[in-house]
């Protein structure tokens, strides 16, 4: 891990903006290590992800003084482009992605670090050219042979890239490290994910492989472990004795946008549940690791996946509901049905919404349901985890109160307005017995927050795999979901969809899923 320069930010920056009853500490420093020099080789450099996320994130990290003096980016894809054309395209992309952070003078320096070489992904000769091209650049930028190879490509070309990296010598040991970043989707079921793991492990060690799940890098997702294990007041309550149930919601207002080609082969269960929702679930449910270290944390997450109760093949409807959006209004604007989106089959049976009930068969969670839901074109954009505590065991105010006392709820807001909210009962001033639910609300300030891509890129440069998914975790989640997805796909009929209106909170069956247990979803 590089320690050439330290960027020290006073916690004043970080606690500014804390509101509510909780005040943030203003003592101490938050240190961020500056990584060692590196080369970032991007496959898929003409694609959307490079333009929207990767290059803007590197640019912003440099603006924040979080990168070493020596680094460069070598973009590569099938498109023919010169270095200058690549720089111009990236300039437009960064300007569009970061209108407030863009500065022409900063760009001028940054642009010198950008290089480009076209490569056909199945063409070993082109990879050999790339291998020769990279060496003088590494010398010029003094990157000590440290390479990050970022696969920002569709999964269909991964196999040839990985094979050609080896055949051309690009993945062989250099004087520095080689880290490979793999974007999702990581396979489309258990078998394909396993095959991809086997292929990767033929050429790389696990410690070189960075499987992305950008949800893990969101600020309040990283905070889950700190919140759970750096406070002594919540952990004693974090179990079946005090928790009635947990809800995990990731709702989006956007539709499929321009991604029908991919989404039509995926659907919400592969796109959101196998990765983001199950990762959030594991962080909430896991046991405390002995040490805050990537593999110990990932061990505990895998144990959670192993303890998940498999979905019953018969009676699956009591556990899982799927849906697809019809037309409707989102933010007061008319939007079309999924089946009318460009590139979507007119009778598509791909689900854009799912809700499920999950149990964990272990001592801590026995009998506690976790309700997970996610969908596109819903009423609001929201990612949150809510912990619903059990009601008080005895209501001593029963003679004078008609209503039930609302149980305490702890809400971890992942986005927007990252923060934590705890609700509890107080007495209303004046009247003798009148309970009033109030909240303690902490909102993260926006002043110094790295976005998910900035965080993961930095971690990959630092060699920290905590926020990346390990092979066994990936396979375990697929092994749970694959039979479920196959069962649902075999039972689906064209006339079942669309079954929810865009801008609503999903299909009515999703409400029934939780209401049959006498509970209710938190409103979107
Ligand atoms: C991606 C999914 O992984 O996450 C998209 O492929 C989804 O379908 C996106 O829209 C949501 O991410 P975020 O960070 O915008 O909540």
Which residue has 């590139």 as its token pair?
343
Instruction: Residue 384: name the closest of 520, 221, 235, 254 by CA.
Output: 221
Q: Which atom of ligand 1 is closest in space to residue 266's alpha carbon?
A: 6
**Nearest CA, atom 4, ligand 1:** 272
pLDDT of residue 511: 97
Strands 325-330 and 320-323 turn out to be unpaired
Ligand 1 within 6 A of CB of 252: yes
pLDDT of residue 401: 64
- Share of residues in the chain with pLDDT > 90 (%): 82
Task: Confirm if 273 and 481 have CB atoms less than 8 A apart.
Answer: yes
The band of 435, judged by pLDDT with boundaries at 50, 70 and 90, is confident
HSE of 170, CA atoms in CB hemisphere, 13 A = 30
The band of 9, judged by pLDDT with boundaries at 50, 70 and 90, is very low
List of residues 6+ apart from 109 with CB closer than 8 A: none
In angstroms, the first-to-last Cα distance of the chain is 42
Q: What is the mean pLDDT of residues 329-344?
A: 97
Ligand 1: centre distance to CA 373 (Å): 14
Instruction: Residue 31: name the closest of 514, 448, 337, 385 by CA.
Output: 448
CA-atom Rg of the chain in angstroms: 24
CA torsion through residues 349, 350, 355, 361, sign: positive
Q: What is the mean pLDDT of residues 302-308?
A: 97
The band of 110, judged by pLDDT with boundaries at 50, 70 and 90, is very high
pLDDT of residue 10: 41
Q: How do the domains of the chain map onto residue ranges?
A: 35-183, 216-388+468-515
The token pair that represents 10 in the structure block: 């006073």
Instruction: Give the tens place of pLDDT for each residue, 146-172.
Output: 999 999 998 889 999 999 999 999 988
The total number of residues shown for the chain amounts to 524
Among 49, 154, 276, which is best to mutate for testing ligand 1, by the most ligand atoms less than 8 A from CB? 276
Ligand 1 within 6 A of CB of 418: no
Q: Is 276 a catalytic residue?
A: yes
| DSSP helix/strand/coil, 7 | strand
Helix (H) or strand (E) holding 260: helix 260-263
Q: What is the mean pLDDT of residues 114-123?
A: 96
State how far the alpha carbon of 90 is from the alpha carbons of 102, 110, 455, in Å. 12, 11, 20
pLDDT of residue 395: 76
- HEC per residue, 457-521: HHHHHHCCCCCCECHHHHHHHHHHHHHHHHHHHHHCCHHHCCCEEECECCCHHHHHHHHCCCCCC
Q: Could you tell me which CATH number the domain at 35-183 has?
A: 3.40.50.720
- HEC per residue, 9-21: EEHHHHHCCCCCC
Task: Confirm if 325 and 268 have CB atoms less than 8 A apart.
Answer: no
Mean pLDDT of the chain: 91
Q: Evaluate if residue 19 carries a pLDDT over 60.
A: no
Task: Confirm if 197 and 158 have CB atoms less than 8 A apart.
Answer: no
Q: Which fold has domain 216-388+468-515?
A: Dihydrodipicolinate Reductase; domain 2 (3.30.360)
Q: Which atom of ligand 1 is closest in space to residue 275's alpha carbon?
A: 3
The band of 46, judged by pLDDT with boundaries at 50, 70 and 90, is very high
Q: What is the mean pLDDT of residues 449-458?
A: 92
pLDDT of residue 16: 33
- Share of residues in the chain with pLDDT > 70 (%): 93
Catalytic residue among 179, 214, 276, 388: 276
Q: Evaluate if residue 322 carries a pLDDT over 90.
A: yes
pLDDT of residue 57: 97
Instruction: Give the tens place of pLDDT for each residue, 383-425.
Output: 999 999 999 887 777 666 667 788 999 999 999 989 999 999 8
Instruction: Residue 76: name the closest of 115, 123, 125 by CA.
Output: 115
Q: What is the pTM of this model?
A: 0.91
The token pair that represents 174 in the structure block: 């250099």
The band of 359, judged by pLDDT with boundaries at 50, 70 and 90, is very high
CA pair distance 347, 495, nearest whole angstrom? 9
pLDDT of residue 120: 95
For residue 94, the Cα-to-chain-centroid distance in whole angstroms is 22
Q: Which atom of ligand 1 is closest in space to residue 381's alpha carbon?
A: 16
CA pair distance 491, 515, nearest whole angstrom? 24
pLDDT of residue 14: 35
Task: Confirm if 204 and 180 have CB atoms less than 8 A apart.
Answer: yes
Q: Evaluate if residue 338 carries a pLDDT over 90.
A: yes
């Amino acid at each position: 891990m590089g320690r050439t320069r330290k960027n020290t930010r006073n916690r004043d920056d970080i606690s500014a903006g804390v509101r509510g009853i909780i005040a943030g500490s203003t003592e101490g420093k938050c240190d961020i290590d500056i990584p060692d020099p590196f080369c970032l080789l991007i496959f898929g450099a003409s694609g959307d992800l490079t333009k929207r996320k990767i290059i803007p994130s590197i640019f912003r990290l440099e603006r924040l003084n979080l990168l070493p003096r020596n680094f460069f980016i070598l973009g590569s894809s099938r498109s023919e482009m010169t270095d200058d054309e690549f720089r111009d395209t990236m300039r437009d992309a960064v300007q569009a992605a970061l209108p407030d952070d863009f500065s022409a003078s900063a760009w001028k320096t940054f642009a010198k670090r950008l290089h480009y070489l076209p490569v056909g992904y199945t063409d070993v000769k082109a990879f050999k050219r790339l291998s020769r091209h990279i060496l003088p650049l590494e010398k010029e930028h003094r990157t000590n042979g440290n390479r990050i190879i970022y696969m920002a490509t569709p999964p269909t070309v991964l196999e040839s890239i990985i094979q050609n990296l080896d055949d051309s010598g690009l993945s062989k040991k250099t004087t520095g490290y080689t880290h490979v970043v793999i974007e999702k989707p990581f396979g489309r079921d258990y078998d394909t994910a396993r095959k991809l793991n086997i292929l990767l492990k033929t050429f790389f060690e696990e410690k070189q492989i960075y499987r992305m799940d950008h949800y893990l890098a969101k600020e309040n997702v990283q905070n889950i472990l700190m919140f759970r294990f750096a406070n002594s007041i919540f952990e004693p309550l974090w179990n079946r004795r005090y928790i009635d149930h947990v809800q995990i919601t990731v709702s989006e207002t956007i539709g499929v946008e321009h991604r029908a080609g991919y989404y039509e082969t995926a659907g919400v269960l592969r796109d959101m549940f196998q990765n983001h929702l199950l990762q959030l679930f594991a962080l909430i449910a896991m046991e405390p690791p002995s040490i805050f270290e990537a593999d110990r944390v990932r061990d505990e997450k895998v144990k959670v996946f192993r303890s998940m109760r498999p979905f019953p093949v018969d009676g699956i409807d009591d556990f899982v509901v799927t849906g697809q959006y019809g037309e409707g209004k989102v933010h007061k604007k008319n939007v079309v049905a999924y089946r009318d989106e460009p590139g979507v089959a007119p009778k598509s049976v791909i689900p854009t919404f799912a809700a499920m009930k999950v149990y964990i068969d272990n001592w801590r969670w026995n009998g506690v349901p976790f309700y997970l839901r996610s969908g596109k074109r819903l009423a609001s954009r929201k990612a949150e985890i809510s912990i619903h505590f059990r009601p008080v065991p005895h209501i001593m105010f029963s003679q004078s109160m008609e209503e039930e006392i609302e149980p305490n709820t702890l809400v971890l807001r992942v986005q927007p307005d990252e923060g934590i909210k705890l609700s509890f009962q107080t007495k209303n001033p004046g009247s003798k017995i009148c309970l009033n639910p109030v909240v303690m609300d902490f909102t993260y300030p926006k002043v110094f927050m790295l976005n998910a891509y900035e965080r993961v890129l930095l971690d990959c440069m630092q060699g920290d795999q905590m926020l990346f998914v390990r092979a066994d975790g990936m396979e375990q989640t697929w092994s749970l979901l694959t039979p479920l997805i196959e069962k649902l796909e075999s039972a689906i009929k064209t006339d079942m969809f669309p079954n929810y209106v865009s801008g609503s909170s999903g299909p009515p069956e999703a409400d029934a899923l939780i209401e049959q247990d006498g509970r209710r979803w938190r409103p979107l």
